[in-house]
Amino acid sequence: MTKQNFRFLISLVFTVTLAVFALVRQPDANAQGGNPFDTGGRDDKPAGEVFKNVQTLKNMPAGRLVGVMNGWTKALGVKCNHCHTLGAWEKEDAPAKQIARDMVALTSRINGESLKEIKNLKSERPSISCYTCHRGAVKPETAPAAPAQPK
């Protein structure tokens, strides 16, 4: 390989790498619709004071809200628009938003009360999360998958 061909190959690899990086870093317009988590420097304020219509997590520091919401999207395998109207995050037009609130309350009751009543658990502080049941799916499986049939 000549020195000129080598330089061309390096330039090509560099250009392709930059293009791929730009595509990967590009925000998903369908998922975000702007930066809904900009706290304006008020990360330590309660989320209910910083954002509109925060109900279940209103006492959580506003700066932590993004991490919690991202965890939910991964646990359910969804994007923000599953529960929210993009650009109008406070709207109540998606039934999934209230379902999420109710599921947070259920998880809190299980973690705060029900698990404490189960004797002989090996963990000092047993807990569940959305992922415990959902495993990346909107609708959790309620029964094991059928065994594969032998070929």
pLDDT at 17: 45
pLDDT at 24: 39
pLDDT at 37: 78
In this prediction, the residues of the chain whose per-residue pLDDT falls under 50 are 5-6, 8-9, 11-33
pLDDT at 10: 52
pLDDT at 73: 94
CB 133 within 8 A of CB 140: yes
pLDDT at 42: 94
pLDDT at 127: 94
| Matching residue, tokens 């998606």 | 94
pLDDT at 26: 36
CATH architecture of 39-134: Orthogonal Bundle (1.10)
